[in-house]
Chains A and B, each alone.
Chain A
């Protein structure tokens, strides 16, 4: 097999990793800053795909507008969910917070089925990306490049946001020491709403961006949240860079795993996760607990 083939697989893996990154980084941020494990995270990813379909009515002209709309809608929906459902139970034991997001998972799954039916919803490939690029002589779907670019763009934007803006600094501070933030007079509840909205918006965007490649189904929510979990377990819960690294590793693992053992490729991410759990349980870029528990 020639180099071109391997490069193709590599880029395919990166493309897959790109959607994984958009999906997972929100989960990691939300947990890192707020301590909430959002079991409905994959559901918002799914919702993003369906909303994209709904906003554009499946018409390819709406592609760019649709993506932007989904990003905005995701933020609004996330903020509303946080404000109405999650904020009331901050004081409760974390099990109940988890159960609440689990309830959301159940609700959203059926809600989508109700509004869109159980049939697959797909989206045509935009004209701009319909012709393949040629990389070292092999044809390469240019949409993959778009995905990689999208993820890179948002990774960069996120970096700039978290490290260069005041709001971003607060968010990072929230992952380290929540009490100090309150002492400094920051409106923490509002910050939480913003963080949750941001995380959901990114997940929704990820789902929407995937639609031209893969049809949306109601069942994709659970698979998505599990993939996101695997990514953040590997990368480290609470670490944005961990999400990037984890997504990259899983993406590449899948792309090359399919070559070796196509039937069992789905087990590989679990294998990698198990390995990380054995050797470095807090994730590759996570912070080890201060005291051994």
Chain B
């Protein structure tokens, strides 16, 4: 499968990359994972979530608080991160999924900002604006290359899981709900429960991304929960093309590259992001992947046209 080849290639490239390259690659994979979690909801379930940062942040804070305040070993906090973010998704999803999709989007934004405000205010617990710093994964994982492999492993497992989900009865049920909710319910598919499970899965995977990001950055701040963090997942997905399975991952890489370039020149990165999103929505709804596919097909179409095809 092409996916396996891609993952193998990424694995083999590891030892040849510089420390900075490894850091960037790790961040790209983490963002890619985060964006794919978002796209599970957006593409499969037809749900647009503006609050994925809530789970990203929950995963990060769970890791940070448990390692720093409770002295847990780093890897042991992974299941806790997953659990906390999934639980957060369960609670937020319970309220947000109840009605039409428009309410859902609004509420995800609102709840995520609420979590941000709480993290910001609760100085005693979260350290407020100062965040939680000095988080260094112990031993081998504190080094760039092994950590990169950890990230790659997590990404690979998540992607394989999502691929399996897509072809499973659950994946079909989600798409059926998206295509026509009433018809899906009439064939026995309980809309609320399926969407909630999808939301929880997405939340858990976002939490995994947050866990990894916190370890990569060696610190966790309230801005992990800020709405612009949710925008990163959305933008990566739209940039790469939400209609393609790996589109969000492609978009994430492009997004990071863009950010590195733009932030070197100006501090108005959100403005640039907004304009980019605007252009994508207006002119390139199929994203970079769609654009690339169109360009690849173009010569054959031209040839066919020229021969009177």
Cβ–Cβ < 8 Å partners of B99 in chain A: 277, 281-282
Q: Is the CB of A106 within 8 A of B271?
A: yes
Q: Is the CB of B282 within 8 A of A233?
A: no
CB distance from B173 to the nearest CB of A (A): 16
Chain B 103-118, CB-CB to A under 8 Å as 1, else 0, gives 1011101110110011
Q: Is the CB of B42 within 8 A of A95?
A: yes
Report Cα–Cα, A125/B200, bound state, in Å.
49
Q: Is the CB of B227 within 8 A of A107?
A: no
Cβ–Cβ < 8 Å partners of B278 in chain A: 85, 100, 103-104, 107
Q: Is the CB of B113 within 8 A of A226?
A: yes
Would A106 and B102 be within 8 Å (CB), given that A99-B234, A293-B191 are in contact? no
Give the contact stretch, choosing among A13-21, A61-69, A140-148, A262-270: A262-270
Q: Is the CB of A107 within 8 A of B275?
A: yes
Q: Is the CB of B117 within 8 A of A266?
A: yes
Report Cα–Cα, A277/B271, bound state, in Å.
34
Interface assignment of B182: CB less than 8 Å from any CB of chain A: yes
Give chain B interface residues in 253-309, CB to chain A under 8 Å: 268-271, 273-275, 277-278, 281-282, 285
Report Cα–Cα, A81/B223, bound state, in Å.
30
Report Cα–Cα, A62/B214, bound state, in Å.
49
Interface assignment of A223: CB less than 8 Å from any CB of chain B: yes
Interface assignment of B50: CB less than 8 Å from any CB of chain A: yes
Q: Which residue of A lies closest to B117 (CB)?
A: A266
Give the total of B residues in contact with A, Cβ under 8 Å: 42
Q: Contact residue range for chain A?
A: 35 or more
Cβ–Cβ < 8 Å partners of A99 in chain B: 48, 234, 238, 277, 281
Give chain B interface residues in 183-235, CB to chain A under 8 Å: 191, 227-228, 231, 234
Q: Is the CB of B285 within 8 A of A110?
A: no
Q: Is the CB of B231 within 8 A of A102?
A: yes
Select B282's contact among A100, A226, A267, beta carbons within 8 Å: A100
Select A106's contact among B98, B113, B277, B285, beta carbons within 8 Å: B277
Cβ–Cβ < 8 Å partners of A230 in chain B: 110
Cβ–Cβ < 8 Å partners of A226 in chain B: 109-110, 113
Which B residues lie at the A interface, using CB under 8 A?
42, 46, 48, 50, 95, 98-103, 105-107, 109-111, 113-114, 117-118, 121, 181-182, 191, 227-228, 231, 234, 238, 268-271, 273-275, 277-278, 281-282, 285
Could you list 11 further interchain pairs (A-B, Cβ under 8 angstroms) beyond the known A37-B106, A274-B95? A89-B281, A98-B105, A100-B277, A102-B231, A106-B273, A107-B275, A114-B268, A225-B109, A270-B110, A270-B111, A277-B99
Which A residues lie at the B interface, using CB under 8 A?
31, 37, 39, 85, 88-89, 92, 94-96, 98-100, 102-111, 113-114, 222-223, 225-226, 229-230, 233, 237, 263, 266-267, 270, 273-274, 277-278, 281-282, 289, 291, 293
The 9 closest A-B pairs by CB, nearest first: A106-B274, A110-B271, A107-B274, A103-B277, A103-B278, A229-B106, A103-B274, A110-B270, A226-B110
